[in-house]
Amino acid sequence: MEEKVKIIYLKNLFDKAIRLIHFGIKELEGINFTNSDNYDLVFIFLSIGFELLMKSMIFFKSYEDDKSFPTEKEMKNMGHDLVKLKKEIIRNYDKIPENVLGKIKKDIKNDQEFISNDVTLIKLIKLLSNFSKSGRYFELDFISKKVIF
């Protein structure tokens, strides 16, 4: 029973990630770049959305492989580095057994190729990763500094 509840929560998290990414794209479409206070919402929605998406992918793969989820400690060690999370996802592609690939082998290889080599995606993930690690809490980091100038 506990396992089923965790899977439901993970599916909900995956759906939330997709909604956040969608909100980020919608917010980006509505920005007037000459005068907008909402540009940071784009980065917040997209960075959190991509982080949740990638972590849920890693959790699903862990469950598929080991019938268990990452521990709380392992989850916290994942951090907010989207580049690191992307590398873990790419490693997971190599762990997919041949008997599971079957008819979808070509699709999986195309997906792996895109995630590994698409220049635009790589730049986007680096940008969002930097924001996740240091930009999301810029104001709090700035306020909490003892000496600011």
Report the chain's C-alpha Rg in angstroms.
18
CA quadruple 19, 47, 137, 23: dihedral, nearest 10: -30
Q: What is the mean pLDDT of residues 53-61?
A: 92
CB 70 within 8 A of CB 59: yes
CA geometry: angle 56, 118, 126, nearest 5 deg: 60
Q: Report pLDDT for 24.
A: 92
Q: What is the mean pLDDT of residues 36-51?
A: 86
Residue 43 CA to residue 128 CA, distance in Å, equals 7
Q: What is the mean pLDDT of residues 59-68?
A: 89
Average pLDDT value for the chain = 86
- Please determine, for residue 125, whether its predicted confidence score (pLDDT) is greater than 80: yes
- Please determine, for residue 28, whether its predicted confidence score (pLDDT) is greater than 90: no
Q: What is the mean pLDDT of residues 90-112?
A: 78
Q: What is the mean pLDDT of residues 1-17?
A: 91
Q: Report pLDDT for 141.
A: 75
Where on the phi/psi map is residue 141: left (φ > 0), alpha (ψ -120 to 50), or beta? alpha
State the chain's maximal CA–CA distance in angstroms: 60
Q: Report pLDDT for 149.
A: 67
CB 12 within 8 A of CB 94: no
At 117, the pLDDT band (50, 70, 90 cuts) reads very high
Residue 70 CA to residue 76 CA, distance in Å, equals 10
Q: What is the DSSP letter of 80?
A: T
**Picking from 28-42, 84-98, 101-115, which range would have the lowest pLDDT averaged per residue?**
28-42
Residue 1 CA to residue 109 CA, distance in Å, equals 35
Q: Where are the domains of the chain?
A: 2-138
